[in-house]
């Protein structure tokens, strides 16, 4: 167990860039914020980046961190979405914002851009690269840690894979040069790690294994930690004891208890399947327990962050 704690501590504290992905709905944003709060508690300067690969109605005020930031420790925040990322990039290239508005705010041009999702992914990861490489007047990185609430599984794979595709296919020029910079950042195993968030359910586990295999086999990007959210386990002997005493429980409660025992058993099976498909050398797993008052998001973040601190001591 000591070995796993040491590996997890190394992965969390000795990487500057942390990207968290997983199936939507598994608590990815909550885990990302909890990690940022944990790292901030070590008196480090932390940037929390939230990514939205969809341009339509993209608004930072809809994001969880934005709503909670006044109640969280001092953490810098950047919301990365395609429209502003394109504006910043195009303005740097064209030099004048007026030219950007003339060209890129044309309805036909914007419609064409929306039909190119790969461009959105490149803009997102490009803007992230910019913030990750910012330095202060002493030439030190401006942020000790950058925690990224990355897109969900499918979009994350496309985004992480895009720089490599451009490097292989694009001719020499500014686009390829930037793609090389981004790929170098992503594949720097001493600087960047991609963490996976999941719950013990069939579809989230399938997606977790999909991105794990992609990181390991295709992208050469460092897999970090597997966060298993809302982890609920009951030893077999405890389950058998409850079953043996179920007739002593009021009849109207028995079916609820039976369903709960079945649900716990199914989740345990999914957890076993998940772990068995992760290579032993990569079994850096943090199980985030169920929080009683899970409707209070701040309470959940506080509990998960407290849990994470144990791995960082």
172 pLDDT band, cuts 50/70/90, is: confident
Instruction: Domain 2-233+279-312: state its class.
Output: alpha beta
Closest CA to 27 of 182, 199, 261: 199
**In degrees to the nearest 10, what's the CA dihedral of 87, 89, 90, 95?**
110
116 pLDDT band, cuts 50/70/90, is: very low
137 has pLDDT over 60: yes
Which of 27-31, 75-79, 88-92 shows the lowest per-residue confidence on average (mean pLDDT)? 88-92
Q: Which CB contacts under 8 angstroms, 24+ apart, belong to 151-156?
A: 151/21, 151/51, 151/52, 151/53, 151/124, 152/21, 152/22, 152/23, 152/24, 152/28, 152/207, 153/21, 153/22, 153/23, 153/207, 153/208, 153/210, 153/211, 155/53, 155/121, 156/19, 156/21, 156/194, 156/211
Tokens of 151: 């897109």
Burial group, residue 37, by CB count within 10 angstroms (0-12, 13-18, 19+): buried
Q: Are 200 and 271 in contact (CB under 8 A)?
A: yes
Q: What whole-number distance in Å separates Cα of residue 87 and Cα of residue 107?
A: 15
User: What φ, ψ does residue 131 adopt, rounded to 5°?
Assistant: -70, -30
**Residue 115 has what pLDDT?**
46
SS3 105: coil
Q: Residues 2-28, buried b or exposed e (16+ Cβ, 10 A)? A: eeeeebbeebbeebbbbbbbbbeebbb
Mean pLDDT of the chain: 84
173 pLDDT band, cuts 50/70/90, is: confident
**Residue 306 has what pLDDT?**
94
SS3 139: coil
Closest CA to 185 of 61, 11, 13, 18: 18
> How much is the average pLDDT of 217-234?
90
Tokens of 54: 């969809």
Q: Find the largest Cα–Cα distance for the chain.
A: 77
**Residue 5 has what pLDDT?**
86
pLDDT digits (tens, 9 = 90+) for 277-300: 999 999 999 999 888 766 789 999
Q: Are 223 and 234 in contact (CB under 8 A)?
A: no
Q: What whole-number distance in Å separates Cα of residue 148 and Cα of residue 70?
A: 19
Domains in the chain: boundaries? 2-233+279-312
pTM: 0.86
């Amino acid at each position: 167990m000591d070995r796993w704690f040491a590996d997890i501590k190394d992965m969390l504290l000795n990487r500057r860039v942390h990207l968290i992905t997983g199936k939507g709905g598994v608590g990815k944003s909550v885990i990302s914020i909890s990690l940022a709060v944990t790292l901030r508690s070590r008196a480090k300067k932390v940037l929390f980046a939230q990514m939205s690969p969809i341009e339509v109605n993209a608004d930072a005020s809809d994001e969880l961190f934005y709503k909670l930031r006044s109640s969280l420790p001092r953490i810098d925040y950047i919301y990365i979405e395609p429209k502003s990322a394109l504006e910043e990039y195009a303005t740097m290239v064209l030099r004048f914002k007026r030219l950007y508005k003339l060209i890129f705010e044309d309805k036909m041009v914007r419609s064409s851009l929306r039909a190119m999702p790969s461009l959105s992914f490149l803009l997102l990861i490009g803007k992230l690269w910019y913030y990750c490489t910012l330095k202060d007047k002493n030439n030190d990185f401006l942020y000790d840690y950058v925690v990224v609430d990355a897109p969900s599984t499918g979009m994350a794979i496309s985004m992480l894979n895009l720089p490599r595709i451009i490097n292989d296919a694009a001719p020499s020029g500014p686009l390829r040069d930037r793609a090389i910079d981004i790929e170098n950042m992503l594949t720097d195993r001493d600087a960047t790690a991609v963490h996976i968030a999941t719950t013990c359910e069939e579809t989230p586990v399938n997606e977790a294994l999909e991105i794990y295999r992609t990181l390991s086999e295709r992208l050469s990007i460092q897999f970090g930690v597997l966060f298993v959210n809302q982890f609920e386990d009951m030893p077999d002997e405890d389950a058998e004891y409850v079953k043996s005493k179920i007739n002593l429980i009021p009849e109207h409660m028995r079916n609820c208890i039976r369903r709960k025992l079945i649900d716990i058993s199914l989740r345990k099976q999914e957890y076993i399947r998940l772990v068995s498909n992760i290579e032993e050398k990569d079994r850096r797993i943090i199980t985030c327990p169920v929080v009683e008052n899970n409707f209070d998001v701040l309470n959940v973040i506080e509990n998960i962050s407290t849990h994470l601190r144990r791995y960082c001591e």
